[in-house]
A and B are shown apart, each in its own frame.
Chain A
Amino acid sequence: MKAPSFAYSKPATLAEVFDLLAHHGDGAKLLAGGQSLIPSLNMRLSSPSVLVDITGLPGLSGIVVDGDTVRIGALTTHAEIERSPEIARHLPLLAQAVKQIAHVAIRNVGTFGGSVAFADPAAEYPAVCVALDATFVLASQKGERRVPARQFFKGIYETELSRGEVLVAGEFKGIGVGYRSAFLELARRVGDYAIVGVAAHAQIAGGKLADVRLAFLGAGDRPILAGNAAAAVEGKVYGPAVVKAAQDALAKDLAPPADLYHSSATKLHLARVLTGRALTALGG
């Protein structure tokens, strides 16, 4: 199908963006890479009165490492993250995840900030950001505020962003000594949204798993941090019994909604399988 009619504006400053958002209210939609927004327009799932193209704004793109903080500008593309030696070194979980996002032609255009702000519960970045306890920088006419990823995602396509706010960056703490990461997802075809996936991160100290984080995608209305499964393996040496304990605890963390092809029970089973694989990758 073809998109409905809308107006288009490409401001050169954030101040102009705030003015446009204030003037048009809910009728305005921000356009970054557009790799989720434009399909939704083409399918007429969305009908904004004006698109505000933010790709002309200076300073919102790029990856900056400052001490142990990695800041990713909202307009940084998936392809830039995929090719970044800084991301590979400091945020290997993100480096693994980005390869699973769609296909080359989409990764060339789609942006970090766009995916986070869109908040699809089956998308890769939200789960990675929750696993790594990232912080998002939100800007508005009133200034900037910082919101932890673990509080940012509110539901399907719902976030902490309020009217007039723009997500300008994500901030991460670089990987610490002895930490390992594993990002795994199951999809029907390469590049599809995941049926279920996990962003896993832990420290291996003296052979034991510590600071274990398992964040699931496609398993709820937002990325879900599996606290019970993580607690079941915390401080333990990796082994079959420990993996089973985490898998059994998962039922207390997840109640995945069924989709067209997979029941809730199937999704929970697949999450258990991924938990086993992830813990093997981390501690095996």
Chain B
Amino acid sequence: MDHILQTSIILNGVSVTRAIPARQHLVDFLREEMGLTGSHVGCEHGVCGACTIRVDGKIVRGCLMLAVQANGCKVDTIEGLSDSGELADLQRAFHEHNALQCGFCTPGMLMAAQDLVGTRPQATRDEIRDHLSGNYCRCTGYHAIVDAVEEVLISRRGGKK
């Protein structure tokens, strides 16, 4: 029975194969083995959302998935989405609305926000709050975050409220 498993993932578009200990969760693998420290480790039990990443197109908790479970999957992190420009308007809106203070929650917040903006373009403010309810900002900057996401939703809809 294997404690270390050969694991292949498509990480931000690049094929990666590594021998990974079964006990290592995905966000630790990304940070410690791949040097992708944009995904943050907060609570390590699925409550805070700081480790939010995308696996096969869906947002997941990076601390609640073993890296070996991602074998054969497409994994996208904040670094990939930032470099590709997919998040550019959200990042700009966060900056302009002062929607980050210490910045610890910001990568997870952006991943969750991009999921909403991509899947539910008609979302209301209440729906934004509901969608981001699994991402904690301990600076409590929620109002500005919701403002930023709402602005992007409106602008991606072509400026219509």
Chain A residues engaging chain B, CB cutoff 8 angstroms: 1-10, 31, 34-35, 38-39, 41-43, 49-51, 53, 55, 79, 102-106, 108-109, 189-191
Contacts and interface: CB of A to CB of B under 8 A. Distances in A.
Contact of B2 (A9, A189, A191): A9
Given A5-B23, A34-B65, A105-B60, A39 B45 contact: yes
Given A104-B131, A109-B65, A7 B1 contact: yes
A35 B64 contact: yes
B65 A3 contact: no
Interface in B28-61: 28, 44-46, 49, 52, 58-61
Contacts, number: 97
Contacts of A53: 69
Interface of B: 1-3, 5, 21-25, 28, 44-46, 49, 52, 58-61, 63-66, 68-69, 71, 112, 115, 130-131, 133-135
Contacts of B68: 8
Contacts of B130: 190
A271 to B, nearest CB: 24
**Which of A105, A108, A109 has the largest number of chain B CB atoms within 10 A?**
A105
**Which of B63, B68, B71, B134 has the largest number of chain A CB atoms within 10 A?**
B134
Nearest to A99: B130
B61 A43 contact: no
Ranked 6 nearest A-B pairs via Cβ: A103-B134, A8-B22, A7-B1, A39-B45, A190-B133, A108-B58
21 contacts: A2-B24, A3-B25, A4-B23, A5-B23, A7-B2, A7-B3, A8-B1, A8-B2, A9-B2, A38-B63, A38-B65, A39-B64, A41-B23, A42-B44, A42-B45, A55-B69, A102-B46, A104-B59, A105-B61, A106-B64, A108-B60
